[in-house]
Amino acid sequence: MLTNKHAKIMLMLVFAVLGFMLATQIKTTERQKTINVQRAEELTERLRVVEQQRDDLAHEVERLQAASGTDEALETEVERLKEFAGEVPLEGKGIQLILDDSKVTAQVGENPNLYIIHDDDLLRVINELRAAGAEAISINGERLVATSEIRCAGPTLSVNNNRSAPPYVILAIGNPSNLASALKLRGGVLDTFKFWGIQADLTLPEVVKVPAYKGRRVFEYAKAAPEEEHTAKEAGK
Query: What are the residue ranges spanned by the domains of the chain?
Result: 1-85, 90-210
Give percent of the chain above pLDDT 90: 42
Overall average pLDDT of the 74-78 stretch: 76
Give the span between the Cα atoms of 185 and 105, in whole angstroms. Answer: 27
Give percent of the chain above pLDDT 70: 68
Q: Please report which helix (H) or strand (E) contains residue 71, including its range.
A: helix 4-85
Higher-confidence residue of 149 and 219: namely 149
Q: Is the pLDDT of residue 62 over 90?
A: no
Sign of dihedral through CA atoms 137, 133, 87, 95? negative
Give the model's pLDDT for residue 93. 98
Q: Is the pLDDT of residue 75 over 60?
A: yes
| Residue closest to 213 by CA, chosen among 153, 152, 156, 149 | 149
Give the span between the Cα atoms of 49 and 112, in whole angstroms. Answer: 91
Which of 49-53, 150-154, 198-202, 231-235 holds the top average pLDDT? 198-202
- Give φ, ψ of 202 to 5 degrees: -105, 125
> What is the DSSP secondary structure assignment for residue 236, as one 8-state letter?
H
Q: Is the pLDDT of residue 183 over 90?
A: yes
Averaged confidence pLDDT in the chain: 80
**CATH T-level topology, domain 90-210:** Alpha-Beta Plaits (3.30.70)
Q: Is the pLDDT of residue 15 over 70?
A: no
Q: Is the pLDDT of residue 140 over 50?
A: yes
Among the residue ranges 108-112, 208-212, 217-221, the one predicted with the least confidence is 108-112
Give the model's pLDDT for residue 47. 63
Peptide bond before 167: cis, by omega within 30 degrees of 0?
Answer: yes
- Give φ, ψ of 140 to 5 degrees: 50, 45
Burial class of residue 153 (count of CB atoms within 10 Å of its CB; 0-12, 13-18, 19+):
middle
| Residue closest to 172 by CA, chosen among 180, 162, 163 | 180
Report pLDDT digits (tens) over 222-236. 887 887 655 555 556
Give the span between the Cα atoms of 82 and 40, in whole angstroms. Answer: 62
Is the Cβ–Cβ distance between 212 and 169 less than 8 Å?
Answer: no
Give the model's pLDDT for residue 79. 80
Q: Is the pTM of this model over 0.75?
A: no
